[in-house]
């Protein structure tokens, strides 16, 4: 047992003894009522003072690493393969030689695997893939280079858990249902799935990550068109006196609130990735995402606002992928208005685009917009023009444009 884990065990024991030992209750004898009452009053006062002095209610886990929150998070996405391979050195250099300062690193990937091998006695040891061969060494590198670490955990898109536990998934004709990309989802109504993912988040926090970013916090796309055809449990939501849309919204919102509460003692920020269009409507009826309700339960909201992901004429823009500044500017205005109505709004940190989307140009006769320095800077500038200074950049292959000014 190392000193860090020993400290975690000993501190609560010592504090408990500090509280209990001085207050062994005296034996009551005739005429001692006033003395006993005075004793209890003094005891309560002393306990209150101890709580204030020791900050018992805020005892938090210490990973042993030290990271400072940047002036504003400007980050890139990093897969497990990149984090554990030769590309990692290139990405570290990219951050060091620019105004970037953060990395969002896959810890639980889009299939449901861990991107590293956990300890042998871990209940999740069977999930481990040896992409990041020495995760402690990786964390040390991030610390030495002052790169702010964010752990990405894919939640309800999880083919591994779905195949292992079909009862926690959605089934069709006796088999686990998969979308047209061959991906399976697990059921947001199932609280066992919540616990499973939050325990993985705690593992990431113990590794030293300063923020947990939950992705795919939703039902499968288009779920409202197939829910009657699929077999699945609604768990504790089955008897709710609401329609199916509101049941889905409540389940997703409740998961986020549960995760936030469970991670309080780890002193990490909680973030959620969400479709950008969710901010422009009351709620996304099929997938269960309500932008405002999710935002009320997180420290950071990361809307995926890639210009390529919006339908034609959204915000009145004929072909959004060709106008990255205008699309980002229009979205930012909507989000700011929505967040301004919340009592305690989260930090806005959108995902922006550094990739091409040739598939959306098929049959249009429009040349494919090549995303590079100009297009990335246009999105960043649009956010800054609206007072949003944090952002994350997505490229699935972790190949980022050269010579970008990340603070234009």
Could you tell me the two tokens for 165? 């536990």
Higher pLDDT, 167 or 8: 167
Asked if residue 227 and residue 362 are part of one domain, the reply reads: yes
Per-residue pLDDT for 322 more than 50?
yes
* 348 found inside a domain: yes
Neighbour tally for 92: CB within 10 Å: 18
Q: How far is CA 77 from CA 48, 197, 376, in A?
A: 45, 20, 14
Q: Which residues constitute the domain of residue 19? A: 3-58
Same domain, 251 and 152: yes
Together in a domain, 171 and 201: yes
93 and 25 share a domain?
Answer: no
Q: Give the pLDDT of residue 112.
A: 98
405 within a domain of the structure (yes/no): no
Residues 24 and 81 in one domain: no
Q: What is the pLDDT of residue 34?
A: 56
CATH code for the domain in which residue 188 is found: 3.20.20.80
Do 95 and 171 share a domain, yes or no? yes
Higher pLDDT, 31 or 345: 345
Predicted TM-score (pTM) of this structure: 0.85
Task: Let me know whether 341 and 317 are in one domain.
Answer: yes
Q: Considering the domain boundaries, does residue 292 fall inside one?
A: yes
Which residue, 58, 87, 102, sits at the end of a domain? 58
Residue 58 pLDDT exceeds 60: no
Do 88 and 52 fall within a single domain?
no
Whether the per-residue pLDDT at 367 is higher than 50: the answer is yes
Residue 48 — very low, low, confident or very high, per pLDDT cuts 50/70/90?
low
Domain edge (last residue) among 32, 58, 84: 58
Domain boundary pick from 17, 34, 58: 58
Tell me, yes or no, whether 242 and 339 share the same domain.
yes
In a domain, 290, yes or no: yes
What is the mean pLDDT of the segment spanning 43-61?
A: 51
- pLDDT (mean) for 306-312: 98
Angle at 162 between CA 160 and CA 168, to 5 degrees: 140
285 pLDDT tier (thresholds 50, 70, 90): confident
For 391-403, how does the pLDDT look when each residue is reduced to its tens digit (9 = 90+)? 999 999 999 999 9
Quick one: average pLDDT of 235-254?
95
Residues 16 and 98 in one domain: no
Domain count, the chain: 2
28 and 159 fall within a common domain: no
pLDDT of residue 21: 43
User: Does 178 share its domain with 299?
Assistant: yes
Asked whether residue 67 is domain-assigned, the answer is: no
Q: What does the pLDDT average to over 257-267?
A: 97
Q: Count CB-CB contacts under 10 A for residue 132.
A: 27
Specify whether the CB–CB gap between 200 and 108 falls below 8 A. yes
Q: Indicate the average pLDDT of the chain.
A: 89
The label of the residue with tokens 């609560």 reads 12
Please report whether residue 400 resides in a domain.
no
Inside any domain, residue 207: yes
Q: What is the mean pLDDT of residues 278-292?
A: 94
Q: Strand pairing partners for 169?
A: 186
Model pLDDT, residue 62: 84
Residue 303: count other Cβ atoms within 10 Å of its Cβ: 24
Does 228 score more than 70 pLDDT? yes
pLDDT band at 59 (very low <50, low <70, confident <90, very high): low
Question: How high is the pLDDT of residue 5?
Answer: 40
- Looking at the domain assignment, is residue 68 inside a domain? no
Percent of the chain surpassing pLDDT 70: 85
């Amino acid at each position: 047992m190392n000193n860090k884990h020993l400290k975690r065990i000993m501190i609560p024991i010592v504090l408990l003894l500090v509280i209990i030992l001085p207050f062994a209750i005296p034996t009551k004898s005739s005429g001692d009522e006033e003395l006993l009452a005075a004793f209890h009053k003094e005891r309560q006062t002393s306990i209150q003072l101890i709580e204030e002095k020791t900050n018992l209610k805020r005892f938090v886990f210490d990973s042993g690493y030290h990271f400072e929150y940047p002036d504003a998070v400007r980050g890139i996405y990093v897969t497990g393969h990149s984090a554990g391979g030769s590309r990692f050195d290139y990405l570290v250099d990219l951050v060091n030689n620019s105004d970037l300062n953060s990395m969002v690193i896959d810890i639980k990937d889009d299939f449901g695997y861990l991107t590293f091998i956990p300890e042998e006695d871990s209940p999740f040891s069977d999930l481990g893939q040896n992409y990041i061969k020495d995760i402690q060494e990786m964390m040390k590198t991030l610390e030495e280079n002052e790169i702010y670490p964010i752990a990405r955990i894919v939640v309800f898109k999880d083919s591994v858990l779905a195949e292992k536990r079909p009862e926690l998934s959605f089934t069709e004709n006796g088999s686990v249902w998969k979308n047209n990309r061959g991906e399976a989802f697990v059921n947001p109504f199932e609280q066992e799935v919540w616990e499973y993912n939050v325990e993985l988040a705690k593992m990431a926090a113990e590794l030293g990550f300063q923020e947990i970013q939950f992705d795919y916090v939703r039902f499968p796309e288009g779920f409202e068109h197939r829910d009657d055809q699929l077999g699945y449990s609604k768990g504790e939501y089955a008897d709710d006196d609401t329609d199916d849309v509101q049941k889905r919204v409540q389940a997703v919102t409740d998961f986020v609130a549960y995760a936030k509460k469970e991670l309080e003692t780890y002193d990490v920020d909680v973030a959620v990735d969400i479709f950008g269009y969710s901010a422009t409507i009351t709620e996304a009826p099929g997938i269960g995402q309500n932008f405002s309700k999710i935002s009320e339960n997180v420290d950071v909201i990361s809307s995926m606002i890639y210009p390529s992901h919006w339908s034609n004429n959204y915000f009145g823009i004929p072909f959004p992928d060709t106008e990255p500044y205008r699309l980002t500017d229009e979205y930012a205005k909507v989000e700011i208005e929505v967040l301004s109505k919340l009592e305690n709004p989260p930090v806005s940190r959108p995902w922006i685009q550094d990739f091409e989307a040739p598939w959306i140009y098929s049959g249009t006769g429009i040349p494919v917009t090549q995303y590079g320095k100009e297009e990335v800077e246009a999105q960043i500038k649009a956010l800054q023009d609206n007072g949003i200074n944090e952002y994350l950049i997505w490229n699935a292959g972790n190949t980022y444009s050269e010579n970008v000014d990340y603070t234009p």
